[in-house]
Amino acid sequence: MEISIKVRSSPIRVVAVIPARGGSKGIPGKNLRSIGGVPMIVRTVRAALAASRVDCVIVSSDDDDILRVSAEAGASIIRRPAELATDDASSESALLHALGVLEAMDIHPERLVFLQCTSPFLGVRDVEALIAALDDRKFDAALTVSPNHGFLWRRDGNGGGVGINHDAAQLRKRRQDLAPEYRENGAGYAMFVDAFSRARHRFCGAVALVETGLPVVEIDESDDLDIVDAILRSRERRRLDPHIAQRLKVLVTDFDGVHTDDHVFVGDDGGEQVRCSRSDGLGISMLRAAGINVLILSKEDNPVVTRRGAKLKALVLQGIDDKQATLAQWLDDHGIGFDEAAYIGNDVNDLACMGRVAVAFAPADAHSALDGVGIALSRNGGNGAIREACDLILAHRGLPAAGR
């Protein structure tokens, strides 16, 4: 697959490009390494897709696996020529190549957002802030920065220390008394395409600083991945972006281990009974009242699934072996994007769906393969996990959670 362009709206005014070459000397396959349970390239694709003003998200790469994973995550893809994917090739060369491909397709965006997947803390708000920084045409380009409150030093000609942002010979200032300084964190940049095409570099005129709370991290060694992974798992345990919550149109759930405690009672006649939570039902009714449908997607072809779905007034698809393909078709039939869907799953056959939706949840007792995938709920399946997810969605839409 050389080129595949997916357009969310027309005309395309804002295009986001994520350069991600395959080669990496420090960490082999770095852009596909998982942190917080999600490949780095997928994290950045999701942040860009979640930004409502981004009309097209493109991953530029020379690597087959990166292109495949990016396409599965919902991005457009452009194969980068080998000569633009060397250690010496600049990011600007990849951006200019992507713009050239779009121009050949008669696509002429006004703004270009350049995102780096090696900055895994980037979020949808940061992407939207970059775009907004150019709104009044006061600036030609923008970049994300993090506040720097440290005392900086350099070496003089004799190898001694000289203060950069402070005078070491004077009485020591308090850190908060230093003049504000900002460090480029490398997460994102935005430029007007006409200015960038003329200058051929990212700082193509007057530059806006977009202050973020992103940690400044350099992922150069495996130890760096471990540190970032730990931070992300801690941060994202119960985080749900309000922008994503506002756009949700459907909550998709597995049945066994989500609606139930994954146990079954079998009678002497072979009939099966399961244990469900009444509080889950109230949460689902509140979601429906907020305009969010609920779809049960189950591998089991069992009447108990059908009857529980009817009780909850939820849509049911059951006896499904390939959940991802079935969900993709159902969403397409109903005019809903993966970026407008949430999913609650508890086992390995849910992973493919959980990796594509806007936000995924996993009950506290989910299979260990789901560790770090989406938001880890504090409640077990069949014991209020669905209710907890519903409450989180409603709260992040500015609506009251269901009364207990």
> Which residue segments constitute the domains of the chain, with CATH numbers given?
3-235 (3.90.550.10), 242-396 (3.40.50.1000)
Predicted confidence at residue 235, as pLDDT, reads 61
The packing angle between helices 278-289 and 303-312, to 10°, is 50
Enter the tokens of residue 395: 């709260």
pLDDT-derived band at 134 (thresholds 50, 70, 90) equals: very high
Residue 78, pLDDT > 90, answer yes
Contact predicate 148/179, CB 8 Å: no
CA 110, CA 192: separation in Å to the nearest integer?
Answer: 6
Instruction: Quick: pLDDT tens for 140-157.
Output: 999 999 888 788 899 999
Question: Is the pTM higher than 0.95?
Answer: no
Contact predicate 60/20, CB 8 Å: yes
Rounded to 5 degrees, φ, ψ at 54 are: -85, 120
Residue 23, pLDDT > 70, answer yes
Residue partners of 64: CB distance under 8 A and separation at least 6 = none
Instruction: Quick: pLDDT tens for 231-271.
Output: 776 665 556 778 888 899 999 999 999 999 878 777 777 67
Residue partners of 401: CB distance under 8 A and separation at least 6 = 283, 286, 390, 391, 394, 395
Query: Which is more confidently placed, 133 or 377?
Result: 133
Strands 341-344 and 293-298: unpaired
Predicted confidence at residue 402, as pLDDT, reads 52
CA 130, CA 185: separation in Å to the nearest integer?
Answer: 13
pLDDT-derived band at 401 (thresholds 50, 70, 90) equals: low
Mean pLDDT of 326-352: 92
Contact predicate 252/293, CB 8 Å: no
Predicted confidence at residue 236, as pLDDT, reads 57
Q: Which of 48-52, 377-381, 383-387 has the highest mean pLDDT?
A: 383-387
CA 290, CA 284: separation in Å to the nearest integer?
Answer: 10
Share of the chain above pLDDT 70, in %: 94
Contact predicate 147/178, CB 8 Å: no
CA 180, CA 200: separation in Å to the nearest integer?
Answer: 30
Instruction: Quick: pLDDT tens for 183-206.
Output: 898 899 999 999 999 999 999 999
Which of 272, 338, 279, 259 has the alpha carbon at shortest distance from 304? 272
CA 371 to chain centre: 17
Enter the tokens of residue 128: 């939207």
Which of 357, 327, 151, 361 has the alpha carbon at shortest distance from 239? 361
Mean pLDDT of 212-220: 75
C-alpha distances in angstroms, 246 versus 52, 121, 155, 240, 342?
Answer: 11, 21, 51, 11, 12
In this structure, of 35-44, 65-74, 102-111, 292-301, the range with the lowest mean pLDDT score is: 35-44
Predicted confidence at residue 30, as pLDDT, reads 86
CA 346, CA 369: separation in Å to the nearest integer?
Answer: 9
Mean pLDDT of 281-292: 92
Query: Which is more confidently placed, 1 or 399?
Result: 399
Residue 348, pLDDT > 90, answer no
Residue 272, pLDDT > 90, answer no
